[in-house]
Amino acid sequence: MKILFIACLSPKTGNNTTAERIRDYIESVGHTCELRDAAQFQSSAEVAQLLSQDPLFDGALAIHLFKAGRLLLVPFGVIFGGTDINEDVKVEQKRLIMEQVLQKARFAVAFTEKMRETSGLFLVGLFIGAFFTLSALYFFCSHCNVSTAHVDELRVFLLVCGLRRVKDPLYLVRVFSEWHCQDPLNVLIIIGPKVRPGFCLCHRTAGVYMAQERSQRELHAAMKKCFAVVNSSISEGMSAAILEAMHLGVPVVVRDIPGNTAIVEHEITGLLYSSPQDFVDQSQRLLSDPELRERLVRNGKVYVEEHHSMKQERETYQRLVATLH
């Protein structure tokens, strides 16, 4: 089969990484999968023109109902991207288009049960195809320039995200800087590319640093050396950085939002916070309670192993693609 796969391919983003991984799954069983950036198409007519070229495509996949799914006319399946269900569905014009996409889709995939439930409040009543909830561990290629010496000496809190509004990278900066002034051993390092313009981190903010991009291998090494991995997003589909940290045996301190609570249970697999000051309070608990830290690390690893199997993800996507023919 020849499959067209349309997704948002901004560098260093979760959708990009997910699309590359799924393409590998599809091609590993002999199919041809052509991956295209949704941003290169202005209308479904342009996609239709591409689909009409010989040899013809047998079907299509899309990540993100609004940005990519609306472009498809051939038999296709869709994968929720996160911002489509968490943000775009709140805009009536976008929601109407997303409803039309779901009415035509052969199948839809949500990364977590919570995402599936959220979509049901707005969209799934119109959906007549097969619906799957599929979680998977995937690695988000962000990078870090933290030296080993610094990581060994300091209590490093690592925030891994693209610098854009929905990730809210500045949310903790002021309160963390104040905490650092009280205890200089605590530092926050923010790792991530500038996905959207307008986010400028002040390099002179005490205790808060912006890391340069490095390889994925170096990021994993930095994660293993850090004290905790942090999430400060306004909304999430499923945070790769959180799952990645749990898999590596690193505790997570994450913002209390639906996408995060779908994969992090407070005081069981991680710590949730609801405000910048609450972040400091929860982090101080982690600092002062070794038993709590050990429990979070142990339970986090077990959770990822049991609920985010890459083997299951690979086999499911291969089976779903076969239904498009």
128 and 227 assigned to the same domain: no
24 and 75 assigned to the same domain: yes
Q: Do residues 263 and 287 touch, judged by C-beta distance below 8 A?
A: no
282 and 159 assigned to the same domain: yes
Structural domain containing residue 264? 148-307
The CATH code of the domain that includes 196 is: 3.40.50.2000
Which tens digits make up the pLDDT trace of 231-283? 999 988 888 889 989 999 999 999 999 889 999 999 999 999 999 999 999 99
For residues 200-216, one letter each, b for 16 or more C-beta atoms within 10 angstroms of the residue's C-beta and e for the rest, the string is: ebeeebebbbbbebbee
Q: Do residues 66 and 88 touch, judged by C-beta distance below 8 A?
A: yes
Mean of the pLDDT values across residues 208-222? Answer: 73
User: Cα–Cα distance between 202 and 212 in angstroms, integer?
Assistant: 14
Residue 163 lies in a domain: yes
Which tens digits make up the pLDDT trace of 142-193? 233 333 344 456 799 999 887 778 888 889 999 999 999 999 889 998 887 6
315 and 230 assigned to the same domain: no
Which has the higher per-residue pLDDT, 306 or 136?
306
230 and 189 assigned to the same domain: yes
314 and 293 assigned to the same domain: no
233 and 153 assigned to the same domain: yes
> Mean pLDDT over all residues of the chain?
81
For 240, residues 6+ apart whose C-beta sits below 8 A from its C-beta are 14, 17, 138, 139, 140
Query: How many distinct structural domains can be found in the chain?
Result: 2
192 and 282 assigned to the same domain: yes
Q: pTM, whole model, 2 decimals?
A: 0.63
91 and 183 assigned to the same domain: no
Which tens digits make up the pLDDT trace of 277-316? 999 999 999 999 999 999 999 999 999 988 887 788 888 8
Give the distance, in angstroms, between the CA of residue 255 and the centroid of all CA atoms in the same chain: 14
Q: Do residues 64 and 38 touch, judged by C-beta distance below 8 A?
A: yes
90 and 221 assigned to the same domain: no
pLDDT at 323 over 70: yes
Which has the higher per-residue pLDDT, 47 or 279?
279
